[in-house]
Amino acid sequence: MTDQLSKKILIVEDEYIIADVLRNLLQNAGYDICGIADSVDEALELIEINRPNFVLLDIYLKGKLTGIDLANQLTEENIPFVYLSANSNQSILEEAKKTNPYGFIVKPFREKDVLVALDIAVYRHENNLENKLRQNAALQKKVARIIDLQADWTYKLMQIGQALQPYIPFEYLSVGLKSNDNNNDEIGFMRIGFEEYQTIGPKELMVITNKKSYELSALKGKSTWEQLATWYDEKELQAAFNEQPMRKLITETFSMKSLLVFPVPLSGNQAIYFFFYGRRPDAYDSDHLILCDRFRNLIGDFAQIMVSDSKSPLGSNPVYNGVHRTAGRETSADLFAGIIGSSHLLLNVFDNVQQVAPADSSVLILGESGTGKERIAERIHYLSPRKSKPFIKVNCAALPATLIDSELFGHEKGSFTGAFERKIGRFEQAHTGTLFLDEIGEIPLELQVKLLRVLQEKEIERIGGRTTIKTDVRIIAATNRNLEMEVAEGRFRLDLYYRLNVFPIVMPPLRERKEDIPALANHFLIIYSRKTGKAIKGLSEKVLESMQTYRWPGNIRELENLIERSVLLAKSDFIDTIALPFQTEQPAMSFIANANVQTMKENEKTHILRALNECGWKIWGPGGAARLLNLPPTTLNSKMKKLGITRSFQK
């Protein structure tokens, strides 16, 4: 459990009785209550005087201002808070959620709920801080290494961009120097793979944009540069096109949608500017501004040394060293071996993995079935300091509810009928390593409490055992369900959700990264040609085109199965027809926000039914639906049960 004794808590609650109950129970648990406020004004005063470590925050308070107003102030001051709320209406809760609280306690609450919620909040906050501190330290080391590299400055600048990528993602980075003599050189780096960038210097830009040097200079001359770090979403970026013709050119030429401007002041009234461009309409937010603040000095040190060197590519006599198309020392081939694709959505996932892997924080991988969640979980483990320790996987959907308990925690001999031997559970097996809880959304509610306790207390008890056993396990959980929706509908515990959701990674569905389809298809073609001993050379343009228009409800797994089947059926060394399932047009569905659980279930149901029909309702063995769907038959069975699929369901 977290050390409460050092934690000062401020209670902001206008109902005296509730505030008093909270004070008593928190004091009994060892917390120090540094004040009770019934309005935002009073809370601000107490914060100023007492600097609490944590705030428990009611939404409706005395006075005009609400807890949500105070929340923004708390975020600015980096004071974590947990909401106390009665069952407010949905729109208020939505507003509250946007302020990124560390948890919610719903009134009326039990003593246990409050203590657990606070404990999770402290854990989450500490993990956040740990992440932030680690970020700074890691970047500091990288920058020092880059400065010392035996390479030209253009290459070093590209390495700086690459070092920033996990924190400030970009698809195009332009770096410019603003100086007294109005020299506005810019140099660009286009991301073309994981740790792979192409340099776009002035000459390349002229060729790509079909503009002469003086035309580009004129566009740059018209631009105004911000004094402070600023971000623009798609609309804001477009609205400023008139005053910023150079940004318009870059945005349109490279199909970018948002921008983060990061100025770093240097000596002698100069400043170096980093323009991060993203393909998402809202790639940047206030968190990136905080990162800019944190990294400013570090990047400033690098830039100062660079511009003082006569060989700098930016400065009064720029020395530009031509085109680089360079990968970092370790490429995706090393770090993400066998994970095919270079779409910006997948590259963002790689960035997240690289960021979180070295830490011990829990990771929650979200995404539809077959998007590669398990693959990513393995990578996180193998890129972490635990890589030589066990990686243990539990598929929560494949286990009957009655067995999950003993599977996870183990049992002693004779602890229940059928327990003939002592069993070591998965938690113990994963000791010092990583435990991957796949399909975490399927864990029954009763077990969720137990799992939460184990995660907090880091010790387990085997069923029928008398002693507790200490475990040191990193948790990676995955689900294809919308867990927020599961929480809202009472099937998943809010506290467990908050405990697991410390670092979410969202796997994009294949239909949102269609540019990866040809590479994936070729990858599977090579694998299955080799397996079947057929020398298949490729797929026709027509086949690739039809694959691009298909929606892939089963994602990469479905693509893999389709290629496997096509290779088996191929009569020549070239695949020029492919049996894509017939599909009615469906509206695009995004997984996280606004996802409609019903639709996803329906989707899964349709997909399974299609496979069952294709296999004549055979589930097990060769030619069975389980093999077609690349699922263990037990998983398929439990999915069918959950989705209510029986043969009579099929009309």
Ligand X SMILES: Nc1ncnc2c1ncn2[C@@H]1O[C@H](COP(=O)(O)OP(=O)(O)OP(=O)(O)O)[C@@H](O)[C@H]1O
| Interacting residue ranges for ligand X, rule: CB under 6 A | 338-341, 367, 369-375, 438, 480, 520, 523, 556-557, 560, 630
Which residue lies nearer to ligand X by CB, 378 or 407? 378
What phi and psi values does residue 510 have, to the nearest 5 degrees?
-60, -35
Cβ nearer to ligand X, comparing 307 with 365: 365
User: What is the C-alpha separation between 113 and 110, in angstroms, rounded?
Assistant: 5
The distance of closest approach from Cβ of residue 431 to ligand X in the complex, given in angstroms and rounded to an integer, is 24
Min CB(438)–ligand X separation in Å: 6
Residue closer to ligand X by CB (options 288, 481) is 481
Give the nearer residue to ligand X in terms of CB position, either 415 or 630.
Answer: 630
CB of 209 to ligand X, least distance (A): 33
DSSP structure class, residue 275: E
Least Å from the CB of residue 584 to ligand X: 23
Of 375 and 422, the one with the shorter C-beta distance to ligand X is 375
Write a three-state SS string for 203-272. HHHHHHHCCCHHHHHHHHHHCCCCCCCEEECHHHHHHCCCCCHHHHHHHHHCCCCEEEEEEEECCCCCEE
**How is residue 46 written in tokens?**
């107490």
Q: Which long-range contacts (CB under 8 A, 24 or more apart) does 218-224 make?
A: 219/245, 219/246, 219/249, 220/184, 220/186, 220/246, 221/182, 221/184, 222/246, 223/184, 223/247
In 480-627, at which residue ranges do the beta strands (DSSP E only) sit? 504-506, 538-539, 574-575
Cβ distance 157 to 258 under 8 Å?
A: no
Q: Which of 524, 515, 612, 513 shows the shortest CA–CA distance to 555?
A: 513
Provide the minimum distance between the beta carbon of 631 and ligand X in the complex, in angstroms, as a whole number.
7
Cβ closer to ligand X: 367 or 410? 367
3-state secondary structure of 354: helix
Residue with tokens 């039990």: 110
Minimum CB–partner distance for residue 333 and ligand X (Å): 12
Give me the least distance between CB of 455 and ligand X, in Å please: 21
Residue number with CB closer to ligand X (103 or 372): 372
For the CB of residue 557, give the shortest distance to ligand X in the complex, in Å.
Answer: 4
List the Cα angle 629/631/633 in 5-degree steps.
Answer: 110
* Structure-block tokens of residue 23: 């004070």
| Dist. CA 236–CA 240, nearest whole Å | 6
Instruction: Tell me which residue has its CB nearest to ligand X.
Output: 372
* Least separation in angstroms between CB 217 and ligand X: 43
CA separation for the pair 59, 592 (Å, rounded):
26
In the bound state with ligand X, the residue whose beta carbon lies nearer, of 116 and 349, is 349
Decide whether 6 or 590 has the Cβ nearer to ligand X: 590
Q: How far is CA 292 from CA 156, 168, 261, 274, 297, in A?
A: 19, 9, 9, 10, 9
Pair type for strands 172-178 and 186-193:
antiparallel
362 or 371, CB closer to ligand X? 371
CB of 107 to ligand X, least distance (A): 36
Choice between 334 and 472, CB closer to ligand X: 334
Q: CA end-to-end span of the chain, whole Å?
A: 54
Q: Which is nearer to ligand X, 85 or 371 (CB)?
A: 371
Bridge partner list, 105:
84
- The alpha-carbon radius of gyration of the chain (Å, integer) is 28
Q: Name residue, tokens 């559970």.
A: 425
CA proximity to 82, closest of 132, 7, 9: 9
Distance CA 373, CA 377 (A): 6
Task: Tell me the closest approach of the beta carbon of residue 483 to ligand X, in angstroms.
Answer: 13
Amino acid identity of residue 35, one-letter, is G
Both tokens of 168, joined, read 């400030």
For residues 399 and 425, give the distance between their C-alpha atoms in angstroms, rounded to a whole number.
13
To ligand X, the closest distance from the beta carbon of 559 in angstroms equals 8
CB of 442 to ligand X, least distance (A): 11
Residue whose CB is less far from ligand X, 191 or 523: 523
